[in-house]
Copies of this chain bind each other. A is one copy, B any other.
Amino acid sequence: MKIRTLLRFIPVTLLLMCMSTVTFAQLSPSNLLDGRILNEQQYNKAIHIMAMLLIGFGFLMVFVRKYGRSALTATFLLVSTSLPIYYLIKSKGVTGIVETQIQMLILAEFAAASLLITAGAVLGRLKMPQYILLGILFVPFYMFNEWVVLGGGLGLIPAGAVVDTGGSIVIHAFGAIFGLGVALTMTTKQEFEKTIETDATSDRYSMLGSMILWVFWPSFCAALVTPEQMPHTVINVIFALCGSTLATYISSVGLRKKMSIADIANAALAGGVAIGSTCAVATHTMAIVIGIMAGGLSTLGFAVIQSYQQKWMKLIDTCGVTNLHGIPGLFGGLVAVPIVHGINMSGHMAGIGFTIVVAFTTGMITGKVLPLLGRKTEAYDDVDEFLEAAEE
């Protein structure tokens, strides 16, 4: 009990300590008008991404019918923990050059997105303070990987070698594999046998989350591209999402006879995941093909592979992040090789490999640390943490 109470104060203390010494980035564009305009353009996309984080990821996870209050509260806590931590570390310049304030906000949101993906793997099996601790542990690991893979950190991979504009690799695959590492270490036998229940209302909430993600995904991928690249990037993302949505419907019916709404809500987004790496450079035709393939792959994961994976790896991946972010993320990273002219292939592949190793290892470590705060009594249920649920 003592430890838990103490741990509840960690995020706040940490934030305050960081903040007292922080030096913030100053925006000094050569052209001030241009700088101001760029700020506003990126700000709009930052708000779109914020909608994805809270409402998108949050409501997508409400599909667990008795765990809705918890899923939404966990989303609030994960975002509120990770955004300031990332921003403060980043603004100190630890991991390379310091960007404008809005750019740092967007990078912090990317980290939060990756964290939410991780949380999806163990959703319903952590207590609230464990979500907070997950956020505290996740962000530095994520930043380390981002720094090495994209920023040339440690001199392992040349900066710029890894093509990953929209984060197929460093955001989606990293989050999913980290989550697998956590789930692998933590899943208990009781949890393994407990059914995850849904109903018509939780399914419709889940579709709300899915649609929010779909709608704002172009802003996620185009948040940091140049204004010249924006239109092409945006159309690519939309086409990839259209492709995966259609492919998901076809695959879901093809593989299961009837559709599953879980496939639709999730795999429809796989095009957005997979187009991430190449969203700024693929042709529109390639974008739609990538989307179709990702949607098919992802649905195959949900409809067929997931049950085998769970038995084989002895873990439960609550939201199926393996199928939505893991496989499509890696697929998106790999298709950059044939698509991007003059790609530094060894560097790009090294980045993918490094991400897999770091994510899985640090995920496993995190999975060892989290149980120090105990275990959730009632998996997939609000009842042990919410007054209102206990009274129902």
Give complex CA distance A208, B54 in Å: 9
Cβ–Cβ contact B232 & A101, under 8 A: yes
Does A230 make an interface contact (CB < 8 A)?
A: yes
3 residue pairs, one from A and one from B, having the closest CB atoms:
A80-B242, A19-B285, A101-B231
Instruction: Specify the main secondary structure of chain A where it touches its partner.
Output: helix
Cβ–Cβ contact B218 & A47, under 8 A: yes
Cβ–Cβ contact B48 & A47, under 8 A: yes
Cβ–Cβ contact B385 & A259, under 8 A: yes
Closest CB of chain B to A104's CB: distance in Å? Answer: 8
Does A79 make an interface contact (CB < 8 A)?
A: yes
8 A Cβ contacts from A344-370 to B = none
Q: Which stretch (A33-41, A168-176, A311-319) binds chain B?
A: A33-41
Bitwise, A207-250 to B at CB < 8 A (1) or not (0) is 11001101110110000000110111011001101110111011
Q: With A24-B284, A128-B259, A204-B72 given, is the CB distance from A40 to B39 under 8 Å?
A: no
8 A Cβ contacts from A257-315 to B = 258-262, 264, 268, 284-285, 288-289, 292
- Residues of A whose CB lies within 8 Å of any CB of B are 8-9, 11-12, 15-16, 19-20, 22, 24, 27, 33-34, 36-37, 39-41, 43-44, 46-48, 50-51, 54-55, 58-59, 62, 66, 68-69, 72-73, 75-77, 79-81, 83-84, 87, 100-102, 105, 128, 132, 198-201, 203-205, 207-208, 211-212, 214-216, 218-219, 227-228, 230-232, 234-235, 238-239, 241-243, 245-247, 249-250, 253, 256, 258-262, 264, 268, 284-285, 288-289, 292, 382, 384-390, 392
Closest CB of chain B to A3's CB: distance in Å? Answer: 15
Give complex CA distance A40, B190 in Å: 51
Cβ–Cβ contact A12 & B390, under 8 A: no
Closest B residue by C-beta to A201 = B201
Contact pick for A87, options B33, B54, B227, B235, CB 8 Å: B235
Contact pick for A50, options B16, B208, B215, B285, CB 8 Å: B215
Cβ–Cβ contact A102 & B16, under 8 A: no
A to B CB contacts below 8 Å, 27 in the list: A22-B285, A24-B284, A27-B231, A39-B227, A40-B44, A43-B230, A47-B215, A47-B218, A66-B200, A68-B207, A69-B200, A72-B204, A72-B207, A73-B264, A76-B211, A77-B245, A79-B242, A81-B246, A83-B239, A101-B235, A102-B231, A105-B234, A128-B259, A258-B386, A259-B386, A259-B387, A261-B388
